[in-house]
Amino acid sequence: MSKNIRITEPSPEMMGKIIQARKAIAEQKPRYIKCPYCQHNSIVVYEDTRGHVETKCKKCGKITVFDVLNMRRIRVKF
């Protein structure tokens, strides 16, 4: 069973914004934030990302809100 998904091309104005965003992150290193429940890569953020983002994990389905600015890598001590 398949769903009918309507896909439309973005407007020229929106395409311009998408292209500008891609150029802005071209030199930035991505950082992957993992789902706190299943450790699956949940979201990708860049150096200039600020604020809060909400995402649904594609693996476990849990919804999590991240404070990107304060989400630093947790170092595991052995």
The number of beta carbons lying within 10 Å of the beta carbon of residue 35 is 20
Using alpha carbons, list the distances in angstroms from residue 26 to 46, 47, 48, 53: 10, 11, 12, 21
What average pLDDT score do residues 48-65 get? Answer: 93
Its pTM stands at 0.65
Count of CB atoms within 10 A of residue 65's CB? 8
Q: Write down the domain spans for the chain.
A: 29-78
Mean pLDDT of 27-31: 91
Whether the predicted pLDDT of 71 surpasses 90: no
Do the strands 52-56 and 41-45 form a parallel or antiparallel pair, or are they unpaired?
Answer: unpaired
pLDDT of residue 17: 96
**Cβ neighbourhood burial of 42 (10 Å; 0-12, 13-18, 19+):** buried
Tell me, what's the pLDDT at 6? 79
